[in-house]
Amino acid sequence: MMIKNICCIGAGYVGGPTMAVIAQKCPHIKVTVVDLNQDRINAWNDSDLSKLPVYEPGLDKVVEEARGRNLFFSTDVDQAIDEAEMIFISVNTPTKTYGVGKGMAADLKYIELCARQIARVAKNDKIVVEKSTLPVRTAQAIKDILDHTGNSVNFQILSNPEFLAEGTAIEDLFSPDRVLIGGDTSSEGQKAIESLVAVYANWVSRDKILTTNVWSSELSKLTANAFLAQRVSSINAMSELCEKTGADVSEVAKAIGMDSRIGSKFLKASVGFGGSCFQKDILNLVYIAKSYGLNEVADYWEQVIIMNDHQKRRFSKNIISTLYNTVSGKKIAFLGWAFKKDTNDTRESAAIYVADDLISEQALVAVYDPQVQETQILSDLNYLESRTEMENKKYIHVASNPYVAVENSHAIAILTEWDEFKDYDWQKIYDSMLKPAFIFDGRNLLNKEQLENIGFVYQSIGS
Ligand code: UDX
Ligand code: ADP
């Protein structure tokens, strides 16, 4: 089937950029991205491109080129489903916060709602593509719902997991390492796979488009994220050992990374990984393994999360012990709140947990992040439910400028590796702080020698 109309349900960090790129690369396909959230859709339609709801380098240019030509953002979900031959489901699948599997399993409520809506609206055959990361065998659940509509519409379910990383989403979409498409082994299933292959083949070479069965595709996504997160936890585990032994984790990472079997990427020790995927996907993997009685498999992967939690906690503990065992009433400036640079996404960011620990010790936390707004920072802290919103507001202050954030502070903590932090006037910052002036660099971003020459007491991760 030649695809002329695509609908994507969910205009978030995955759906928005992915569809924008598909539309830009395939001018002959009409792409409509729908979402229930009117504010989000308004922001995607804003003529001021700096107001797009997702901050991604290069995204504004792609949207500018395609929007209104063959890329549309709307809240009319039914109409977009009706018109499309291919429907991507790109809604959020957070970790469950209630009931069976609470804190572990993926909450599939939004996925099921989408499937039911497609079932209700569809009048002709559709290919439904899972884009969100899902537990293995979710495709079967979607298929069950769709096949019981009783309106003789045929549905093919494909799994097409997204491997883009935030901050480099546009680059990752333009030249992916691979595109993975899983589908049914029947001839109908193979035809559906070919339709989606043809969409990507507009800009991705065919040898990079892998096709598998649905279950392999679903599990590959969880596996890829688990392996990536495991590398970060592995190097973070070594960082603590480095601090005790006099080794330097950056040197160790370089030395092992030159082994072509290990490779040099994803070996940066940090205050801990964040983001919407790693923790959620591993918890989900652990839950699935346990549900099959594979307790050793579950324990093995759970350790990646335990290590990550430890890394965040030991960062805050070190700040407290270094500041003479009390931070009560002391101002601590945070540079960065996003879970990594070049994104405004804060989901599971280490900054949230470090701030929460310090506030529990009555520290006054002043935050500056170039892309994250005050309302988001407050809502991240409130979500933890460690204290009331009123109390959080007493302890957290969001500054619109880094120099204001650091003024009269006892210490600076670097939580995100934004490039601009390297170019600040560190002498001016030093002069405006209380002495001794401490820097806790959770990203090993700054120049130790330069800062120590100015007079800072500088501590990084793993040395
Ligand atoms: C990840 C996967 O990389 C991507 O393929 C998948 O589609 C979604 O999940 P993302 O969460 O956007 O992408 O960012 P990623 O670059 O993987 O970073 C995740 C976290 O790990 C960040 O907090 C980052 O700062 C941290 N990290 C990464 C490190 O601490 N050290 C590293 O060496 C690499
Ligand atoms: P991701 O990182 O997976 O893209 P986001 O939370 O950024 O996750 O985006 C998911 C989007 O899906 C949200 O904007 C949410 O409003 C939208 N959404 C969730 N359920 C539905 C639904 N049933 N119909 C339309 N949009 C939905």
Strand partners for 212: 182
Q: What is the rounded average pLDDT for all residues in the chain?
A: 96
Task: Give the pLDDT confidence score for residue 136 in this predicted structure.
Answer: 75
Q: In whole angstroms, what is the distance from residue 463 CA to residue 460 CA?
A: 7
Q: In whole angstroms, what is the distance from residue 320 CA to residue 329 CA?
A: 12
Q: How far is the CA of 8 from the centre of ligand 2 (A)?
A: 10
Mention every residue, 6+ apart, whose C-beta is less than 8 A from residue 210: 178, 179, 180, 181
Task: Give the pLDDT confidence score for residue 126 in this predicted structure.
Answer: 96
Task: Give the pLDDT confidence score for residue 200 in this predicted structure.
Answer: 98
Ligand with smallest separation from the Cα of 264 = 1
Are residues 438 and 411 in contact, defined by beta-carbon separation less than 8 angstroms?
yes
Average pLDDT value for residue range 435-452: 98
Q: How far is the CA of 154 from the centre of ligand 2 (A)?
A: 25
Q: How far is the CA of 417 from the centre of ligand 1 (A)?
A: 12
Is residue 460 pLDDT above 90, yes or no? yes
Strand partners for 182: 159, 212
Percentage of the chain with pLDDT > 90?
92
**Ligand 2 atom at minimum distance from 13 CA:** 4
Task: Give the pLDDT confidence score for residue 134 in this predicted structure.
Answer: 79
Radius of gyration of the chain (CA): 24
* Confidence band for 346, pLDDT divided at 50, 70 and 90: very high
Average pLDDT value for residue range 136-147: 85
Average pLDDT value for residue range 270-286: 95
pLDDT tens for each residue of 16-60:
999 999 999 999 999 999 999 999 999 999 999 999 999 999 999
Are residues 420 and 249 in contact, defined by beta-carbon separation less than 8 angstroms?
no
> Would you say 274 is a known binding-site residue?
yes
**For ligand 1, mutation pick of 133, 163, 267, 277 (most atoms within 8 Å of CB):** 277
* Confidence band for 447, pLDDT divided at 50, 70 and 90: very high
Of the listed 7, 8, 242, 277, which one is catalytic?
A: 277
Are residues 5 and 30 in contact, defined by beta-carbon separation less than 8 angstroms?
yes
In degrees and rounded to multiples of 5, residue 58 shows phi and psi of 90, -15
Residues with CB under 6 A from ligand 2: 9-15, 34-37, 40, 77, 90-92, 110, 113-114, 132, 276
* Confidence band for 94, pLDDT divided at 50, 70 and 90: confident
Name which of 128, 135, 124, 90 is nearest 110 in CA terms.
Answer: 90
Is residue 150 pLDDT above 80, yes or no? no
Q: In whole angstroms, what is the distance from residue 127 CA to residue 189 CA?
A: 9
Size of the chain, expressed as the number of residues it contains: 463
Average pLDDT value for residue range 210-216: 95
> Would you say 14 is a known binding-site residue?
yes
pLDDT tens for each residue of 95-114:
888 999 898 888 889 999 99
CATH architecture classification, 278-460:
3-Layer(aba) Sandwich (3.40)
Q: In whole angstroms, what is the distance from residue 84 CA to residue 158 CA?
A: 15
* Confidence band for 277, pLDDT divided at 50, 70 and 90: very high
Is residue 187 pLDDT above 80, yes or no? yes
Please state the domain extents for the chain.
5-204, 278-460
pLDDT tens for each residue of 353-381:
999 999 999 999 999 999 999 999 999 99
Name which of 323, 325, 322, 415 is nearest 368 in CA terms.
Answer: 415
- Is 277 designated active site? yes
**Ligand 1 atom at minimum distance from 341 CA:** 25
* Confidence band for 148, pLDDT divided at 50, 70 and 90: confident
Domains 5-204 and 278-460 share a fold: yes
Name which of 445, 399, 438, 392 is nearest 421 in CA terms.
Answer: 445
Q: Which two tokens stand for residue 443?
A: 């990203």
How far does the chain reach from its first CA to its final CA, in angstroms?
57
Mention every residue, 6+ apart, whose C-beta is less than 8 A from residue 80: 7, 9, 32, 34, 74
Ligand with smallest separation from the Cα of 56 = 1
**Ligand 2 atom at minimum distance from 133 CA:** 3
Task: Give the pLDDT confidence score for residue 105 in this predicted structure.
Answer: 85
Strands (E), 244-363: 331-335
* Confidence band for 121, pLDDT divided at 50, 70 and 90: very high
Task: Give the pLDDT confidence score for residue 1 in this predicted structure.
Answer: 77
> Would you say 132 is a known binding-site residue?
yes
> Bigger pLDDT: 144 or 398?
398
* CA 42 distance to own-chain centroid: 22
> Which residue type, as a one-letter code, is found at position 96?
K
> Would you say 32 is a known binding-site residue?
no
Distances (CA, A) of 430 to 328, 412, 418, 422, 435: 21, 10, 19, 14, 9
Is residue 151 pLDDT above 80, yes or no? no
Q: In whole angstroms, what is the distance from residue 300 CA to residue 304 CA?
A: 8
Q: In whole angstroms, what is the distance from residue 265 CA to residue 82 CA?
A: 43
Q: How far is the CA of 7 from the centre of ligand 2 (A)?
A: 13
The CATH superfamily holding the domain 5-204 is: NAD(P)-binding Rossmann-like Domain (3.40.50.720)
Name which of 225, 199, 351, 202 is nearest 284 in CA terms.
Answer: 225
Percentage of the chain with pLDDT > 70?
100
